[in-house]
Each structure stands twice: as C-alpha cells, then as structure tokens.
Structure 1
C-alpha cells in the first residue's frame, strides 16, 4: 500500500513540477536579484500575450476586455526650474513632496561659476503619489521659471498581468505540494516534495519582489528637478569703460616704446662709437 501511495505521490509531484516549469520558464532568472528590481526589464510576457483579440482591438483576458483592466503605468518626470535662491528652492520642493504624501529620494547643492561670478545650483529627486504628481508639478512651477520639462509614462500592464498570473499559479501549486507533503510517509518522498517546495517558494519570492517593485513604481511617480539661479549680469558705466580703455591703451603704448628702444639702443651705441672715432681721427689729421 505504501509503495502504491509513494508512486502516486511522485507522479503528482512530477506533473506539478512540469506544470509550474512550463508556466514560469519564460520569466528571466535574473529578476531573482534585488539589483534587477531597479529597472523595468524586457522579457517574454507570453502568459499575458496569449489572449484573444476581439474585433474592437481589445484583448479578452479571462472573459473580460482589457478596456476594463486598470492600466499600470510608471511615470517619470525630468525638469529644470530657475529660482532666486537654489537652496531655498530645494528646501521648499522637499517640503512640498512630503506634504503631498511622498518623500525625498536624494538632493544636492553646489557652486556654479560663470566666469568670475558664482551662483548656486542643485538637484532634488522626489517620489510623490501618482494621484498627486500633476498638482505637485503645478506647485513647483510657481516657485520660479520652468526652463525645461519632460514627462514619460511607461505602460507595464502586460508585465503586471503576467507576473500576477504566474505568482497566483505558483501559490496554488505550493498549497497542493504542502498537502502532498502532509500525506507522504517515506523519507524519500518527503525529501522529494520538500525539494520541489523549495524551488516553488524561491520562484514565489522572486515574483513577489518583482510585483512589489512594480507596485512601488506605479504608485509613486519619480520626479527629478534641477534647480538653478539666474546668471549674474555685470553692468558697467560708459565713463569707467572709456577710462579703462584709455589706461590700457597708454600702457600698451609704453610697452611698445620700451620694445622699440630695446631694438634701437644697440644701433645707437654703434653709431656713437664710430661717429666719435671718426671725429677724433679727423681732428688728428688737421693738426
């Protein structure tokens, strides 16, 4: 009886393993590492793509049109704003993000030079709830002059459906394997079931991490803001410019005269020497 049960249990395990492997094989293993959650990856969303398209162009997933599916988008904003004081501007933006239910991811401020003039410049990256990001951008725009802004929205609905479906299948498979484990009687069968459970739970952990990452990126928009100050403008009076140019011209003339004297001085010395010698010889002859 035990042998018969053991054979049945192993058969069920093999069938379960085949089902899970076929369902999850298209998902890339690289997503198991936490660093991979920092970018939206391109991979085979075969589960989500194997849906039937109706005549209207919408896909039929589980008997429902994707027109009724909540679209999942990741919003990213990059903008530059010019304010009178960069440090105060970054501080205000940070407080506005917190007031909107978000948080500051990072910020920095540093000196910026334009010739001999110095001003402040900085960056601040904030995460705000998707529902608040439009009003947040409007409030930021009131702090100064927005010189550039770009908004991108990445649709990850297909990936989200695919990951969710795979995760649901794996969780059901885990439950069935747990039931089988409770029914096994031999050490060999227990080890076989536990090994399969460990594999399934590893995939569940991987997909859960990916889903949590997508949820975070979907629920909170990422907004990167460069904060600058106006470039210093140096205005000078006409009289001062004229005096400055006159002084510079006089100095240039003196420099040119010194250079000319340097070239002529050896010639003058030679002329004086030979002229004096000739005069001396002429006087000697007359005597």
Structure 2
C-alpha cells in the first residue's frame, strides 16, 4: 500500500512538471524563431538577408518589387562662357532656365581687377539636360570650357531597395513578437531592436530619396564672365608701372638696410669700449 502511494506521488510530480514546461514552450515559441539567446543581453539582429536564410527556414524574401527598377543615371555638368555684357547674358540665361522648367539653386557674383563673373548652380530636369546645355552654347557667348559627366547608380539603388524591403519585413516580425512578449525584459529587448531597425530604415529611405533627386534633376554649374579692359591702374606690364615699382623697391631696400644697421646698436657701443680698454691695458704693460 505504501509503495502504491509513493509511485502515485512520483507520477503526479512528473505530470505537473511536464505541464509547466509545455506552458513556457508555448509562450516563448515565437521568440525562439527570431531572438538569438544570450546569457546577458540580446545581440543586435543580424542583417535582414541573413535572417531570411538562417532564422526563418523555408521563407525566401524575393526582391520582386525591385526587378523593374529603371536605369538610374546621374548627370552633372560644368560650363564657362565669356560674354560681352554680363547683365544681358544673365537675362538670357534666366529665360532659358524658365523655358526648360529648371530652377536656380544658387548665384554668386564676384568683381575683381581683371574680370566680372557670375557663378550659377542650376538644377535641370534630366530630360532637359542636353537641351539646356545646347541652348547655353548658342547665343550667350563664347564657350571657354564644358564638362559633362554621367554616373550609373542603378546597382546601388537596387541594392539599397532590396535591403530596405527586407528590413521592413523583419520589422513587422518584431512588432508581432512584441504583442506576445512573455516578460518585461523580452519586451524591452524587442523594442530596442525595433528602434535600431527603424533608424536603419530611415537612413535607407533617405539615401533613396537623395538618389532620386539627383537622377530626376541634373546639376549644372554655369560660370558667366567678362574680361575687363586693361588700364594704367590695373595693368602691371607697362614701362611706367615697372619704373615706379623699381623706385619703390629701391626705397624699401634702403629702409630695410638702415633698420638693419640700427638693430646692431649694442655692438656700436660695446666694441669701441672694448678697444679703448684693450689699448689702455697695453700702455700700462
């Protein structure tokens, strides 16, 4: 009889322990799939592509949304145009900018002894970039320099888009896990991972917006300048200017020599005294 009671008690303990284990397994099952266990602190979530391959078996994130990305070409240009009249040239440039649906990003004016110039930074719709360059080349003035560059950023744009889409999918998984968090510690760790992913998503979205802006609107730096006629006040080539410069340099050299001699005044006092003392000593000898 005593043996039966002992066996029944052991069976009851084993049954209760199994029930408790099943309960914890059910609550934390969703966390095991995504949250890597650590003795102290949850590690930063691995890159989205890694997670898709390793932590969610059987699920493949396909970049279907990025398969149809069109070519992303960034065009930039620089032009230098010599003009007979700076104000007239500026008016023509403003008209061309308006006709090509472009806009002026910045304008800088500079007036020197040799020239007057205006430096313009123009943002142009990519489809009008070649047309506006041709318009500036005809009828504004003499083109002194022109540079056009094209950069293909399709690969970078596609790569950022794929990673962004994976991060968004991974973020949704964390948000679902947050609803079923078993403890405050798990909740805080999941929230920290959500915050990190949201920051990475913001950076990726900002990069895509920047690329789209540079692709949709090309950048053209235009320099308009007018050479000034040389005068006696600005020219340093004539004989009169060189003669005057020589006189000034001679006077400056004389003043420098005189000031150099004055700087030796201690020697002019001490050396005669030493000579006088030496002669007096020799007479006594």
Cα deviation, 1:59-107, whole Å, max 9, x if unaligned, reads xx979xx9x8622111110111122222342344245334423321211
Q: 1:190 to 1:214 in 2, by over 3 A?
A: same
Q: What is the distance in 1 between the residues matched to 2:205 and 2:92?
A: 36
The alignment of Structure 1 onto Structure 2 pairs a total of residues equal to 194
Q: Which moved more, 1:211-220 or 1:181-190?
A: 181-190
Match of 2:137 in 1: 141
What's the secondary structure of 1:17's corresponding residue? coil
Q: State which of 34, 37, 40 in structure 2 corresponds to 1:13.
A: 34
Q: What is the distance in 2 between the residues matched to 1:207 and 1:229?
A: 45
1:162 matches 2:159 = yes
Contact 1:85 1:120 in 2 (8 A): no
5 Å-filtered alignment, 1:69-80, equals: 70-80=70-80
- CA-CA distance at 1:164 after TM superposition: 0.6
Contact 1:123 1:226 in 2 (8 A): yes
1:101 matches 2:97 = no
Match of 1:55 in 2: none
Contact 2:102 2:122 in 1 (8 A): yes
1:131 matches 2:127 = yes
- CA-CA distance at 1:165 after TM superposition: 0.6
Q: State which of 177, 183, 188 in structure 2 corresponds to 1:186.
A: 183
- CA-CA distance at 1:21 after TM superposition: 7.6
5 Å-filtered alignment, 1:134-283, equals: 134-142=130-138, 143-232=140-229
Contact 1:123 1:224 in 2 (8 A): yes
1:3 matches 2:1 = no
- CA-CA distance at 1:220 after TM superposition: 0.8
Contact 1:101 1:129 in 2 (8 A): yes
Cα deviation, 1:203-259, whole Å, max 9, x if unaligned, reads 10111111111111111111001101255378xxxxxxxxxx9xx9xxxxxxxxxxx
The answer for unaligned runs of 5 or more in structure 1 is 24-60, 235-244, 249-287
- CA-CA distance at 1:13 after TM superposition: 2.8
Q: 1:6 to 1:192 in 2, by over 3 A?
A: farther
Contact 1:97 1:127 in 2 (8 A): no
Q: What is the distance in 1 between the residues matched to 2:154 and 2:137?
A: 31
- CA-CA distance at 1:3 after TM superposition: 2.5
Match of 1:110 in 2: 110
Contact 1:98 1:104 in 2 (8 A): no
Q: 1:156 to 1:121 in 2, by over 3 A?
A: same
